[in-house]
Amino acid sequence: MILTVTLNTALDLTYGVPELVPHASHRVSDISERPGGKGLNVARVLSALGHETVVTGFAGGSTGAVLRELLADLPSRDAVPADSGPAADSSPVADAPAPVSLPAPAPITDALVTVAGNTRRTIAVVDRTTGDTTQLNEPGPLVSADEWSALLARYEELLTGADAVALCGSLPPGIHVGAYAELVRSARAAGVPVLLDTSGEPLRRGIAARPDLIKPNADELAQLTGSRDPLRATRDARRRGAHAVVASLGPDGMLAVTPDGVWQASPPAKVLGNPTGAGDSAVAGLLSGLVEGLGWPDRLRRAVALSTATVLSPTAGDFDRAAYEELLPRVGVEEHTTAA
Amino acid sequence: MILTVTLNTALDLTYGVPELVPHASHRVSDISERPGGKGLNVARVLSALGHETVVTGFAGGSTGAVLRELLADLPSRDAVPADSGPAADSSPVADAPAPVSLPAPAPITDALVTVAGNTRRTIAVVDRTTGDTTQLNEPGPLVSADEWSALLARYEELLTGADAVALCGSLPPGIHVGAYAELVRSARAAGVPVLLDTSGEPLRRGIAARPDLIKPNADELAQLTGSRDPLRATRDARRRGAHAVVASLGPDGMLAVTPDGVWQASPPAKVLGNPTGAGDSAVAGLLSGLVEGLGWPDRLRRAVALSTATVLSPTAGDFDRAAYEELLPRVGVEEHTTAA
C-alpha cells in the first residue's frame, strides 16, 4: 500500500464561463466538482497504475463531506476496462511503438481525519473563449492542536502498512511550519521511503529532515536555492538534505540528482494543454516506480510520460491513458557523466 | 405573515482577494457565506422591519443544507437590541430630523421544498484594491415535474395564512417560463396581494397574469417595453397587466405608476456604495408598507430609504439601520399631476 498525506485537502470546483470579464456578472455554463489537494490527485493516478492507496490528512464540514463522498466514488469513476487497450485513434501521439497496458484500477481508502472546520474550496474559472484559467483558492480550515495530534496518531498507525509515503501540498492555518519535517522523521524512523512535495518554508524545513525524495518545480527550486540554473539548483537542494531530488522542468522534462547518478528525462515532443496536476502525476510515477523496484531511468520515464499525458488530458488533473501508454517507451533518458 | 417565494435560492459566497488578475492564481483572503436568492434577501429585511416571514422555494443537496442552517440562524444573527437606538455617530447622513426606531426582528420560517439537485452557489469576488465585484452564478439544480408539483401544493397551503406574497428572482432549470404567471394567478384566486420581481420572459408572462405590483429596474423595464424613458416605460408596463408598477431608477429613486396616482420618490442625496440587494430591500419596503396599510407616498419613502441604506452598508445585501432611520423622514416624494 502507498500512503499519501494531504493536510489541506480541497473540494476542487471548475467553472466554465463563456468569457471572464473582471467586474461583470457571469452565468457559469458548466460545473465540475472533484476531490482535490495534491495527495488526493497523486492517489487517483496511483490507483490508475494499479497501486492500492490510502489517503490521510484533514477533512471537515459540509465541503469535507462532499469531498469524501466523491472520494468514495473514485476508483470506479476513473476505471477503464483492463482489456480495452489503447485508443490509438484518439491519441495525439502518432507512430508510437507497441504500447503497454495499464492494469485494473486499485482501491483508494479514505483514512482522512475529521476536523471541525470546513474543508476549503478551490475554484478554477475557465474562460471557454481563450481556454485560460483563473484560480481562486480558499485558505483552508483552522486546525487545532488536538486535531494535529489525531493526525499524527493516524499517520504512525498507517505507516506500519505502507511501502512508501507521499507528503503533499500546502499547510492549512494552525499547522506549524515544521509539520512536514516531523512527518518525514516519523517515516524515516519507521523505515518507509518518503517523498515530500511542498514549497516555501515547509519545504525548506522538511528537506532538513532528510526525505528520500523531493520533486520541486523550477520556481520552487529557485525560491529554495536562489538559483535558476537547473543542475546547480537541483544539486544545491540535494545538499540541503534530500537523498534524491527530481526537478520538474515543465516541457523540458525532469532532472534527477540521486546517489546513483544524474539523469535528464525528456518527452518525445513538446505538447500543448493544461498543466494542472502534471506535477502530481509525476509524483505518482516516481513513487510507484520506487515501490516496484524500478531503476531511476524507468521511474523517470514513467513520471515524464504521466505528466505529459496529464497535460494532454481534456480534464484538468486527469491523464490521457492512451497517450500515456504510447508515450512511455518514447521518453528519452540521458545520464550525465559528471558526478552528482 | 408575509410569504416570499425564491425558486432559485443560492448559497451566496463572497471572496475577498487582494486584486483580481485574470489567468492568475489567487489566495482568497476572506470568505463570507450567506443564504441568498432575492426572496431570502427580502425576508431578511422584512424580519428586520418586524414582519413575520415565511420563505418557500427549492433547496437541495449539500449546498441546500448549508443554506438552511444559515437561514435558521438568521433572525438572531441580524438582530439588534430594540432599545439600542440609532448609531448616529457611525452614520454618513448628517443633520437628520428625529429618527424613527426599528422594532425587534421577527422570525423567518423555513418552508422550502427539498429537491434532489444541489442548490446553486453564487460567488462575488471582491477586489480589495478597487472594491469592484466580479460575479459568478451557477445556474441552479434541475427541478423535476414532481418537485414543482410539491412546491405548488406547499404554496397553496401557505397562501391561506399570508397577508401578501413576493415572487422573486430567476427560474432554475426545469421550471417552465410561465411558472410565475401560475403563482400570480393562485395568489389572486386566494385574494392575497402579490408582488412579482423577476425579469425577461418570466416577467412578461407573469405580468399578463395581473400581479398587484411589479418592481422592475431600468434595464428590466427597457427589455420589457423597448423604452428607456422612465415614465413611458413604466406606464407601458402597467398597461400590460400589472395593477401598479414601481420602477427603481438607481440613484434617481423610484417612480410609481398606480391606480391612485403617479409618484416620484428620491433619496435626499446621492450615495456611493455597493448596490447589491438594494432592489430586494425596496421590495421589502413596498410589501411591508402595503401590509401595514400605508399610502403610496409612505411605502415609497420606506422603499427608497431602505434601498439607499442598503447601498451604504459595508456588507452587500444588508442595510445600515442607523442610516435607514435617519433617511426615512428625508426622502422626497412628489406626485405627478398628469393622469396615470
Cβ–Cβ < 8 Å for B241, B208 = yes
How far is Cα B200 from Cα B202, in angstroms, rounded to an integer? 6
A-to-B residue pairs, Cβ atoms closer than 8 angstroms = 73
Distance from the Cα of residue B113 to its chain's centroid: 20
Angle of helix B296-311 relative to helix B278-291, nearest 10 degrees, comes to 150
CB count in 10 Å sphere of residue B261: 16
Q: Give the percent of chain B with pLDDT over 70.
A: 91
A62 vs B65, B125, B136: nearest CB: B65
Are B24 and A135 within 8 A, CB to CB? Answer: yes
Question: Domain-by-domain residue ranges, chain A?
Answer: 2-336
Q: A140 contacts in B (CB within 8 Å)?
A: none
How far is Cα A163 from Cα A168, in angstroms, rounded to an integer? 17
How far is Cα B245 from Cα B311, in angstroms, rounded to an integer? 22
From the CA of A268, how many Å to the nearest CA of chain B? Answer: 28
Cell numbers given for B248: 427603481
CA angle at B207 for the pair B203 and B209, rounded to the nearest 5° = 125
Q: Per the confidence metrics, is the pTM higher than 0.80?
A: yes
B136 vs A15, A23, A66: nearest CB: A15
Model confidence band, residue B337 (pLDDT cutoffs 50, 70, 90):
confident
pLDDT at B272 > cutoff 60? yes
SS3 B42: helix
How far is Cα A214 from Cα A216, in angstroms, rounded to an integer? 6
From the CA of B239, how many Å to the nearest CA of chain A? Answer: 31
Q: Exposure string (b/e) for A217-248, b if CB count within 10 Å is 16 or more?
A: bbebbebbbeeeebbebbbbbbeebbebbbbb
Q: A15 contacts in B (CB within 8 Å)?
A: 136, 138
Are B22 and A132 within 8 A, CB to CB? Answer: yes
Are B125 and A136 within 8 A, CB to CB? Answer: yes
pLDDT digits (tens, 9 = 90+) for B86-113: 444 444 444 544 556 788 899 999 999 9
Residue B260 annotated in active site: no
Taken in order B201, B202, B207, B210, is the CA torsion positive or negative?
A: positive
Any A CB within 8 A of B149 CB? no
Q: Which residue of B has its CA nearest to A133?
A: B23
How far is Cα A235 from Cα A330, in angstroms, rounded to an integer? 27
Q: Exposure string (b/e) for B52-90, b if CB count within 10 Å is 16 or more?
A: bbbbbbbbbbbbbbbbbebbeebbeebeeeeeeebeeee
**pLDDT of the residue at B276:** 83
Q: Find which of B8, B28, B130 to mutate to test the A interface (most A CBs within 10 Å of its CB).
A: B28
Q: Which residue of B has its CA nearest to A63?
A: B62
pLDDT digits (tens, 9 = 90+) for B169-219: 999 999 999 999 999 999 999 999 999 999 999 999 999 999 999 999 999
Determine phi and psi for B227, rounding to 5 degrees: -115, 140
Query: By mean pLDDT, which of A257-266, B46-55, B91-100, B121-130 is the weakest?
Result: B91-100
Residue-level length of chain A: 340
Mean pLDDT value across residues B47-59: 97
Amino acid letter, residue B267: P
Any B CB within 8 A of A84 CB? no
CA angle at B133 for the pair B127 and B136, rounded to the nearest 5° = 115
Q: Find which of A8, A31, A136 to mutate to test the B interface (most B CBs within 10 Å of its CB).
A: A136
Q: A31 contacts in B (CB within 8 Å)?
A: 138
Any A CB within 8 A of B138 CB? yes
Are A23 and B66 within 8 A, CB to CB? Answer: no
- Catalytically annotated residue among A12, A197, A280, A320: A280
pLDDT digits (tens, 9 = 90+) for B277-301: 999 999 999 999 999 999 999 999 9
Taken in order A323, A325, A326, A331, is the CA torsion positive or negative?
A: positive
**pLDDT of the residue at A339:** 54
Q: Find which of A63, A67, A134, A137 to mutate to test the B interface (most B CBs within 10 Å of its CB).
A: A134
Are A138 and B15 within 8 A, CB to CB? Answer: yes
Determine phi and psi for B109, rounding to 5 degrees: -105, 130
Any A CB within 8 A of B136 CB? yes
Cβ–Cβ < 8 Å for B261, B251 = no
Any B CB within 8 A of A142 CB? no
Q: In whole numbers, what is the pLDDT of chain A averaged over residues? A: 91
The question of ipTM being above 0.85 is answered as: no
**pLDDT of the residue at B87:** 43
Q: Show Cβ contacts of residue B296 under 8 Å, excluding neighbours closer than 6 positions.
A: B256, B258, B260, B261, B263
Q: B27 contacts in A (CB within 8 Å)?
A: 137, 139
How far is Cα B301 from Cα B299, in angstroms, rounded to an integer? 5
Q: A127 contacts in B (CB within 8 Å)?
A: 22-23
**pLDDT of the residue at A47:** 96
Q: In whole numbers, what is the pLDDT of chain B averaged over residues? A: 91
Are A134 and B31 within 8 A, CB to CB? Answer: no
B28 vs A26, A65, A138: nearest CB: A138
Task: Sheet containing A30-36: give its strands across.
Answer: A30-36, A10-17, A120-127, A133-137, B25-27
Any B CB within 8 A of A138 CB? yes
**pLDDT of the residue at A60:** 98
Q: Is residue B36 packed enough to be buried (19+ CB in 10 Å), middle (13-18) or exposed (0-12)?
A: buried
How far is Cα B115 from Cα B147, in angstroms, rounded to an integer? 6
Nearest to B248 by CA among B204, B314, B303: B303
Any A CB within 8 A of B134 CB? yes
Encode chain A (340 residues) as per-residue pLDDT tens digits. Answer: 999 999 999 999 999 999 999 999 999 999 999 999 999 999 999 999 999 999 999 999 999 999 999 999 986 444 444 444 444 444 444 444 455 678 889 999 999 999 999 999 999 999 999 888 899 999 999 999 999 999 999 999 999 999 999 999 999 999 999 999 999 999 999 999 999 999 999 999 999 999 999 999 999 999 999 999 999 999 999 999 999 999 999 889 999 999 999 999 999 988 888 888 999 999 999 999 999 999 999 999 999 999 999 999 877 778 999 999 999 999 999 999 865 4
Any A CB within 8 A of B292 CB? no
From the CA of B37, how many Å to the nearest CA of chain A? Answer: 15
Any B CB within 8 A of A144 CB? no
Any B CB within 8 A of A32 CB? no
How far is Cα A90 from Cα A83, in angstroms, rounded to an integer? 17
How far is Cα A89 from Cα A98, in angstroms, rounded to an integer? 14
Q: Show Cβ contacts of residue A43 under 8 Å, excluding neighbours closer than 6 positions.
A: A2, A4, A53, A55, A108, A284
Q: Which residue of A has its CA nearest to B69?
A: A62
Name the one residue in this structure whose C-alpha cell is 442595510: B319
Q: What is the dihedral of CA A30, A34, A37, A39, to 10 degrees?
A: -140
Any A CB within 8 A of B135 CB? yes
CATH number for the domain running over B2-336: 3.40.1190.20
First to last CA, chain B: 31
SS3 A150: helix
Q: Which helix (H) or strand (E) holds B144?
A: none
Q: Which residue of B has its CA nearest to A31?
A: B138
Cβ–Cβ < 8 Å for B311, B297 = no
Any B CB within 8 A of A315 CB? no
Any B CB within 8 A of A23 CB? yes
- Catalytically annotated residue among B12, B197, B280, B320: B280
